Structure 1
Amino acid sequence: MYRIAIVRKGQLAERRICTGDELQEVVYALIRSQGSTIGDGDHAGLSRVIGAARSLADGEGFAALEFGSGAVTIRPHSNESHSNE
């Protein structure tokens, strides 16, 4: 599980707790919200980037992915985590 913040220019950050699969859905939605399309050839590369971000968050405690004027910040979440951001 991950604690994420979806950040879009001119909007308040949207905070969520999600699974790895949900994180991928969030990233795809963010990319599409920037006016981009995701083609069949893009899925493998995006999966690698998202996987690397998850690994970084798991190991270092934080990762971020930026797409255009939007971003997703990623932190590991456990039942013991507190929301003191």
Structure 2
Amino acid sequence: MEGVVHMEYLEQGQTLNSERYISILRPLKLRLRCVRQDKDSILQPENAHPHSCRQTQDAFRQLELTTLPQLACSPDLALSDLYLFL
């Protein structure tokens, strides 16, 4: 809500896998500590495999990063209707 806290780019042709994603989480945790000193930080990773696999979930717990689940996709709802349902 307060802007970009951390940004990293992959070189052209590289693929984001769980190991690379976890290596990004460590500096992100340090950056969050500096920027949001006394506030809780909550991440909302996507449902992509590198973000949701067991290794990454273990890293979230080990680094004590709080995450919010992604909304489940439903064929009954249009994206514009999601604000109607908590």
* TM-score, length-scaled by structure 2: 0.27
Q: Identify which of structures 1 and 2 has the higher relative contact order when contacts are C-alpha pairs closer than 8 Å and 6+ apart.
A: 1
* TM-score, length-scaled by structure 1: 0.27
Instruction: Give the structure with higher Rg (CA).
Output: 2
